A = this chain, B = another copy of it.
Amino acid sequence: MPVTKADIKFIKQLQRKKYRKQYRMFVVEGWKSIRDFIKAGYKPVKIYAVQQFLGLQKNNTIEIINPKQLKQLSFLQHPKDALAVFEIKQHDTLPDKGLILALDDLQDPGNLGTIIRTADWFGVHHIVCSENTVDCYNPKVVQATMGTLADVTVTYTDLTRYLKEVNLPVFGTFLSGDDIYQTRLPSEAVILIGNEGNGIRPEIARLITRHIYIPKAPDALAESLNASIATAIVLNEFYKKLRIEK
């Protein structure tokens, strides 16, 4: 079966947020990740694969293509074994229980992807983002999540309003506040992470109920940590307390 020019054009359009929003679809590359999205209940619109993978049902959504054709469709320098188009899932309710991660205008796709992967590792399945946070269906984000986006609900909303309404303590990471190693961390909370360069916006910062910081060596030159690193350290501390209390 040939890959048509229309196929190529359509897939390339999905690199852009405008078209992902219009079609409500996104692209996942690599059979391992595609399988994770199918298992998680995402509906594949089309799957292009270089072989008939085990577990891949034969139906009209599947097209077996050759590696050269996959290269024409792929966003990657080194394409994997398959590429799929999925429908975006609608999430209508905002989370209000357990541990929730909130991102205020995070911009870097690699950071968001890594944060989703790390959140999933530590059992955090809900991420609430400000409307200006990078789109989680951006191909670079999907790639960096290594399939874990299938397992994490990412919602975009008015973050100020969400934080005002949610009935949970809001923890924000700063360069001063309470030492996270010495702070009692609850099992239910919102953990707020700011933009890579500018941190948390003042209007959002006002809604934080607990300021924490990650201790730094006295002789360190570093003024801050990368956003995904700070998130990982905070999630690790929350997860550890949860685990030890069990």
Contacts and interface: CB of A to CB of B under 8 A. Distances in A.
Contacts of A120: 217, 220-222
Interface string A99-118: 00000000000100010011
Q: Which of A215, A217, A222, A224 has the most CB of B within 10 A?
A: A222
Copies in the complex: 2
Contact of A122 (B217, B239, B240): B217
Contact of A239 (B217, B224, B232): B217
Contacts of A244: 181
Nearest to A242: B217
A215 B229 contact: no
Contacts of A226: 114, 117-118, 144, 228
Contacts of A223: 146
Size range of the chain A interface in the assembly: 35 or more
A236 B239 contact: no
A219 interface: yes
Interface stretch (A2-10, A14-22, A147-155): A147-155
Nearest to A225: B121
Contacts of A216: 121-122
B232 A117 contact: no
A232 B232 CA distance: 8
A206 interface: no
A123 B217 CA distance: 5
Interface string A171-201: 0000000000100000000000000000000
Contact of A217 (B36, B117, B121): B121
A46 B219 CA distance: 28
